Amino acid sequence: MRSVLGKKLMARVLEARVRSVRLRRLLRLAGQPRLKYLDHCTIPVHDLAAARDFYCNVLGAEYFMTVDDETFRRFGRPPAGKHGEGSHHVSVFMGGRTRIDLFLQSRGQGALDLGHPHYAFHVRSGQLAAWKRRLERLGIPVEGPLQLGPPGQASLYFNDPFGNHLEIMTLGFTGEVQIRPPIMQRVSWSAAHHREAATVR
């Protein structure tokens, strides 16, 4: 019981510290130009339809828009070269203000054996186990829950169908957790695998 309360308390302490850091930054930069928030990040994908399916139907993102040659035409721009490679994309929102742009690009995914770069999404502590069950039910290999941070921090590590490294993390987690980094080779899988899993959803 004491350990559970300690993990919940640690989560509250860390959340308060984040608020304090943000407030200090606001005060320090008062009257000066400052960056407000991360507007968007880009993730390279091999197939826009499969990317939209995975990020919206598996991870729960909300579809925003597709930018392709038809979009360029409406904006008075010429079509993209290289069959849209590096130009065509699907935009989604996961939560908060940051937009995620899934760009058609055959290279740029993280190395199979390295954990960085990766994209991490925050969930409530009570939802982490449900996320693990959901991903595993869909046949997506998962490492975790693992703890790399303070007591009560826990993360699940997995890949999207294109090899991009993803993390779902929480604070205040009271379940069983291993204290070690993820073994990234264990989370590798393919888009074809996802299509098979999608048929049993």
Please give the residue that has the higher pLDDT: either 113 or 59. Answer: 59
pLDDT exceeds 80 at position 177: yes
Supply the mean pLDDT for the chain. 87
Confidence at residue 20, expressed as pLDDT on a 0 to 100 scale: 82
Confidence at residue 193, expressed as pLDDT on a 0 to 100 scale: 57
Tokens 């929102």 identify what position? 93
* Residues 136, 194 within the same domain: yes
- 3-state SS of the chain is CHHHHHHHHHHHHHHHHHHHHHHHHHHHCCCCCCCCCCCEEEEEECCHHHHHHHHHHHCCCEEEEEECHHHHHHCCCCCCCHHHCCCCEEEEECCCCCEEEEEECCCCCCCCCCCCCEEEEECCHHHHHHHHHHHHHCCCCCEEEECCCCCCCEEEEEECCCCCEEEEEECCCCCCCECCCCCHHHHCCCHHHHHHHHCCC
Inter-residue contact 60 to 166 (CB < 8 Å): no
Percent of the chain with pLDDT over 70: 91
* Residues 122, 74 within the same domain: no
pLDDT digits (tens, 9 = 90+) for 70-111: 998 998 988 898 888 889 999 999 988 899 999 999 888 888
CATH number for the domain spanning 101: value is 3.10.180.10
| Its pTM surpasses 0.75 | yes
List the end-to-end C-alpha distance of the chain, in Å, as a whole number.
37
Burial 34-48 (b: 16+ CB within 10 A, else e): eeeeeeeeebbbbeb
* Residues 120, 170 within the same domain: yes
Confidence at residue 114, expressed as pLDDT on a 0 to 100 scale: 83
Q: What is the number of structural domains in the chain?
A: 2
Average pLDDT of the residues in 133-160: 95
* Residues 128, 66 within the same domain: no
pLDDT digits (tens, 9 = 90+) for 110-120: 888 888 889 99
Please give the residue that has the higher pLDDT: either 98 or 19. Answer: 98
pLDDT exceeds 50 at position 200: no
pLDDT exceeds 80 at position 68: yes
Confidence at residue 36, expressed as pLDDT on a 0 to 100 scale: 77
Nearest residue to 146 via CA among 158, 133, 157, 135: 157
* Residues 183, 91 within the same domain: no
Please give the residue that has the higher pLDDT: either 151 or 49. Answer: 49
CATH number for the domain spanning 17: value is 3.30.720.110
pLDDT band at 13 (very low <50, low <70, confident <90, very high): confident
Confidence at residue 180, expressed as pLDDT on a 0 to 100 scale: 94
Average pLDDT of the residues in 24-33: 76
Nearest residue to 128 via CA among 172, 80, 182: 172
* Residues 100, 50 within the same domain: yes
* Residues 82, 71 within the same domain: yes
* Residues 120, 104 within the same domain: no
